[in-house]
């Protein structure tokens, strides 16, 4: 097997200021790409009218496909808010629902919003430097930067996990993470008051 892995995939070097890994393709999500993600639509449209900043970037490393193999992504989620809601990733299920994932926090401070597909139960768990988060299978996951610095992390997942953005795209997450008096606070989207 070792001879089937490209040597450049056996060890990579990266920084903490961007998600770039060499010349690998970098997925960049700007504010315009996140239409429908934020709860405060007027705040989103007003922000977009001003600028279209980079919100996050990810490089995926996919050394091999097939049973037992692993892929991983290096993500950098930049700080900021839209209205009271912190910068976030689109969020997704894995197309192969049982596939779990491990997130390793490298820099910055934030959280992961987890939502069980069957029960709708939500958990907000810390993701920061020196923090490891386990995302079980069958769980939608979204990364949130609640700090003032870029949140840098690795997400390591089975090679056959795949991404399913459709469910989150249609229904979004049930809960929203907003700044309330300087503290990240989990609020039910259905009862969210945008102007406290």
Q: Which span (41-49, 85-93, 113-121, 187-195) binds ligand S6P, by CB under 6 A?
A: 85-93
* Closest residue to ligand S6P, based on beta-carbon distance: 73
Q: Is there binding between residue 157 and ligand S6P (CB under 6 A)?
A: yes
Q: Is there binding between residue 105 and ligand S6P (CB under 6 A)?
A: no
Pick 89 or 175: Cβ nearer Zn ion:
89
Residue 31: strand, helix, or coil: helix
Residue 45: strand, helix, or coil: helix
Among 40, 84, 85, 101, binds ligand S6P (CB under 6 A): 101
Question: Least distance (Å) from Zn ion to the CB of residue 102?
Answer: 10
Length reported for the chain: 196
Beta partners for residue 102, in sequence order: 134, 156
In sequence order, what are the residues at sequence separation of 6 or more whose Cβ sits closer than 8 angstroms to the Cβ of residue 144?
Answer: 77, 86, 87, 88, 89, 110, 111, 112, 113, 124, 177, 184
Q: Is there binding between residue 73 and ligand S6P (CB under 6 A)?
A: yes
Residues near Zn ion (CB under 5 A) are: 101
């Amino acid at each position: 097997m070792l001879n089937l892995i490209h040597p450049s995939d056996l060890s990579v070097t990266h920084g903490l200021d961007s998600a770039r890994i060499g010349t690998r393709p970098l997925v960049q999500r700007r504010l315009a790409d996140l239409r429908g993600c934020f709860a405060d639509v007027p705040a989103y449209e007003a922000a977009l009218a001003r600028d279209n900043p980079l919100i996050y970037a990810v490089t995926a490393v996919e050394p091999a496909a097939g049973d037992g193999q692993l892929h991983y992504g290096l993500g950098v989620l930049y700080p900021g808010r839209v209205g009271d809601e912190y910068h976030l990733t689109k969020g997704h299920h894995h197309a192969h629902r049982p596939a779990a994932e491990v997130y390793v926090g490298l820099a910055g401070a934030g959280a992961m919003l987890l939502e069980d597909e069957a029960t709708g139960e939500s958990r907000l768990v810390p993701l920061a430097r020196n923090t490891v988060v386990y995302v079980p299978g069958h769980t939608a996951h979204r990364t949130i930067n609640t700090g003032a610095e870029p949140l840098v992390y690795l997400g390591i997942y089975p090679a056959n996990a795949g991404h399913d953005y459709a469910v989150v795209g249609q229904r979004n997450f049930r809960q929203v993470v907003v700044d309330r008096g300087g503290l990240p606070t989990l609020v039910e989207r259905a009862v969210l008051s945008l102007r406290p």
